[in-house]
Amino acid sequence: MDINDKTIIRTSLKPGALLKSRASLDPRTSLDYRPRAKAFPRHAGQTAVSPGTASPVDRNRNKVIEIVTVPYLTDITANRKNVGIELDVPAVQEILSGYYHDVSITQINTQKDLELLAARRPDLVFSGVKYFNFGGQDLWLNDFLDLHGIAYIASGKAALDNEHDKARAKRIMQQANIATARYFQTAPGEHPTAASVPIAFPLFVKPVTGGDSRGVDANSVVHDFESFRRKVLDIHETQNSRALVETYLSGREYSVGILEDATNGTLRAMPIEIIAAPNQNGDRILDYDIKKQDAETVEMVTDMAIHARLGDLAKAAFRALDGKSLGRIDIKMSHDNVPHFIEANLMPGLRKGYFYRGCLLNLNMSYEEMILKIAENGLAVSVPRPGGYETETSEPVIAARKMNAEMFVDGF
Ligand SMILES: Nc1ncnc2c1ncn2[C@@H]1O[C@H](COP(=O)(O)OP(=O)(O)O)[C@@H](O)[C@H]1O
Ligand SMILES: [Mg+2]
């Protein structure tokens, strides 16, 4: 999960509220958005439709959605490796219920619970769970749902595997010709002398897997062999992890939200700049304490050329990793202002963190719209069925096509 991801301040969702937010769009924010005649056509179905004459959009409201969770932890900042997105479940249910008629919450405690879920065959599972552990065995939720032909909201296991190991993600970037800092992996003793270090200082040292900047602090920036050796040892001892060592990127930092239009596969990129105050050494890095204390500021990317470059890189990275529906790509500039891929989050936090702020600052998208768009994306994806591949186009797709699919135009 993201510790930067803020808890939602609950607002009651009034009918029609979703229609309004785009009307107040500030044109200065609209790098990635073109004003359109009608706001959010998907909600056309929310206006009065007499029974029996329902539009395709209206019929879609009958979809059955289950929000799937694992037993709740009282400490919401606890690091649960098997949960990719810590959802604010009551808020998500309230939002989805504002549009869909049948939205329930299912807590999975046992494999039996999961089998019962499969038997109910909901149209969509809305969940941030990556895997369950039943009797010592990991069972990946999205793999399980694929097997049963049930749609879900984010990437499948193969893409999550690509993203989880940062060295693997970087290798995939290199193969796709996407800029990423030079790197190698190490552990204490593997690079025992200054001469054995294969790339030039300054370097950046962090755990090869993980999130929330765990294991990242001011000592991650190393200028000499002795500080390199110390940080590799620290990561080994405190994070129980191998170290990923990269060329230090000293420029500005960005995170680019990606929302796919599952109806036609186009991607929308929503960059934000994240600014951390310089640390005691003058380096600006998003370390664990900064994220935890919420000490960074988030800004719009107003330079159109940079916006476009970040968007292109993030979309290419998302595709190379085989991401689906949504994600966030972290990018940092080198000293000479060339954007470099740092890492991807294919289960980005869905509270009020970087992903939401990307939606808000780029598209003026409300939190409710964001959650509904993610559900709609999930529902629009063709899922493999046990008896072959489902090719049927879902109702929102038909409706969106009729309305000229104006919500998503791949502008960058
Ligand atoms: N090669 C690098 N050069 C400079 N800073 C980096 C580099 N890699 C990571 N960072 C800094 O460390 C932070 C955390 O690294 P990241 O790989 O994104 O880990 P996490 O998964 O914990 O978010 C980044 O947001 C960035 O500020
Ligand atoms: Mg990151």
pLDDT for the residue numbered 15? 36
Pocket, ligand 1, Cβ cutoff 6 A: 166, 181, 204, 206, 210-213, 216, 246, 248-249, 253, 285-286, 330, 332, 342-343
Interval between CA 289 and ligand 2 midpoint (Å) = 13
What confidence score (pLDDT) does residue 384 get? 53
Task: Give me Rg for the CA atoms of the chain.
Answer: 22
Nearest CA to ligand 1 atom 15: 213
In a domain, 134, yes or no: yes
Quote the ligand 2 centre to 119 CA distance (angstroms): 37
Which of residues 192, 220, 248 is at a domain's end? 248
What is the Å distance from ligand 2's center to 330 Cα? 6
141 and 60 in one domain?
A: yes
Residue nearest to atom 14 of ligand 1 (CA): 213
Asked, for residue 142, whether it belongs to a domain, the answer is yes
222 with 116, same domain? no
The whole model's pTM is what? 0.82
Categorize the per-residue pLDDT at 57 as very low, low, confident or very high, splitting at 50, 70 and 90: low
Note whether residue 223 is domain-resident: yes
Say what the pLDDT of residue 3 is. Answer: 59
89 and 41 share a domain?
Answer: yes
Contact 264, 240 (CB under 8 A): no
**Which residues have their alpha-adjacent CB atom under 5 A from ion ligand 2?**
330
Q: Which of 64-73, 161-170, 183-192 has the least mean pLDDT? A: 64-73
pLDDT at 189: 97
Q: Which CATH number does the domain housing residue 228 bear?
A: 3.30.1490
* Selection from 174, 167, 250, 237 nearest residue 209 by Cα: 167
* Residue with CA closest to ligand 1 atom 21: 211
pLDDT reading at 259 higher than 70 = yes
Question: 194 CA distance to ligand 2 centroid (A)?
Answer: 28
Q: What is the pLDDT of residue 158?
A: 95
Q: Is residue 90 part of a domain?
A: yes
Q: Examine the domain organization and report whether 135 and 61 are in the same domain.
A: yes
Q: Mean per-residue pLDDT for 371-386?
A: 80
**pLDDT higher than 80, residue 72:** no
Q: Which residue has the higher pLDDT, 64 or 2?
A: 64
Higher pLDDT, 75 or 209: 209
Residues 147 and 67 in one domain: yes
Within 10 angstroms of residue 342's Cβ, the number of other Cβ atoms is 24
* Local confidence band at 247 (pLDDT 50, 70, 90 cut-offs): very high
Pairing outcome for strands 151-152 and 124-127 = parallel
Please tell me whether residues 84 and 187 are part of one structural domain: no
**What's the 130 CA to ligand 1 centre distance in angstroms?**
23
Q: Which domain holds residue 78?
A: 37-157+370-402
Return the amino acid letter for 250: S
Same domain, 64 and 146: yes
Domain presence at residue 265: no
Residue 59 in any domain: the answer is: yes
Q: What is the pLDDT of residue 40?
A: 35
Nearest ligand 1 atom, CA 183? 1
Q: Are residues 242 and 203 in the same domain?
A: yes
pLDDT in tens, 137-149: 999 999 999 999 9
Residue 117 counted as domain residue: yes
- Between 13 and 308, the higher pLDDT residue: 308
Count up the domains in the chain and report the number. Answer: 2
Q: What integer best gives the mean pLDDT of the chain? A: 83
| Same-domain check for residues 153 and 194 | no
For 5, 255, 304, 379, the CA distances from 300, given in Å and listed in that order, are 18, 11, 11, 30
Same domain, 152 and 223: no
Same domain assignment for residues 152 and 241: no
- What ligand 1 atom has the least distance to the C-alpha of 212? 22
Mutational pocket test of ligand 1: of 228, 298, 332, 341, the residue with most ligand atoms within 8 Å of the beta carbon? 332
Give the ligand at the shortest distance from the Cα of 169. Answer: 1
Which one of 248, 283, 299 terminates a domain? Answer: 248
Please tell me the total number of residues recorded for the chain in this structure.
Answer: 412
- Same-domain pairing of 148 and 229: no
Of 224, 248, 272, the domain-final residue: 248
Render pLDDT for 4-42 as a digit per residue (tens, 0 to 9): 565 554 444 333 333 333 333 333 333 333 333 333 333
Whether residue 387 is contained in a domain is answered as yes
Residue 229 Cα to ligand 1 midpoint, Å, equals 19
Average pLDDT (229-239) is 97
